[in-house]
Amino acid sequence: MQIHIRQALPEDAPSIAPLIFDAIGDIAHRLTGESINSNVIAKLEELVRATDNRHTYLNTFVATDNQSILGIIVLYNGKIGKELDGILMKKLQKKFATSMQIDIEAYDDEYYIDTICVAPHARGLGIGTKLLYFAEQQARTMGYKKISLNVEEVKIKARQLYEKQGFITTEPWKIIGENFHHMVKEV
């Protein structure tokens, strides 16, 4: 099977949104302000199609076999992440008329892997590894010396995969009250 990685397009949103939800779970509820899963996915689709948030198609790349999307990776620099989250926080505050806070997930000097997910039927085919390698290439092209990601403490197999790819845990991190490992790789 030949896998190609390309920039996402707005029309990819229906395939991308469920993978984002699969990867980030409960965080998606907070990012969208929705509690019902189908509504969360619909709002994630809107976020993918928009250009002013972390999950925009402009930050998303898809792994495809030219027939379907088999995996995704969302990439951006830490500094931009703060700016994009500020825009989203204002939208959520308007919706709920209450103060909202989105946790910082990366340092300014890091090229950040926000979300990576492979479709369940395509797992075990090396697509996740290809997406991680693609992230490294993107980071180098953009002049970054390191890439980072956060992985939930309970996702031991995922952390082991990242360690196998050369990531090291640099510190504990909290996102929406949950414990994560902040992992970094020099590129």
Full residue range of the structural domain in which residue 81 is found: 4-186
Task: Please count the structural domains in the chain.
Answer: 1
* Whole-number average pLDDT of the chain: 91
Name the residue among 44, 52, 51 with its Cα closest to residue 16: 44
Residue identified by tokens 């976020």 is 47
- CATH number of the domain enclosing 37: 3.40.630.30
Name the residue among 74, 77, 64, 83 with its Cα closest to residue 28: 74
Global pTM value: 0.91
The pLDDT of 157-168, averaged and rounded, is 95
Of 85 and 28, the one with more pLDDT: 28
**In angstroms, what is the C-alpha Rg of the chain?**
16
Task: Compute the distance between CA of residue 175 and CA of residue 141 in angstroms, rounded to an integer.
Answer: 29
- Tens of pLDDT, residues 56-93: 999 999 999 989 999 999 999 988 877 776 776 676 66
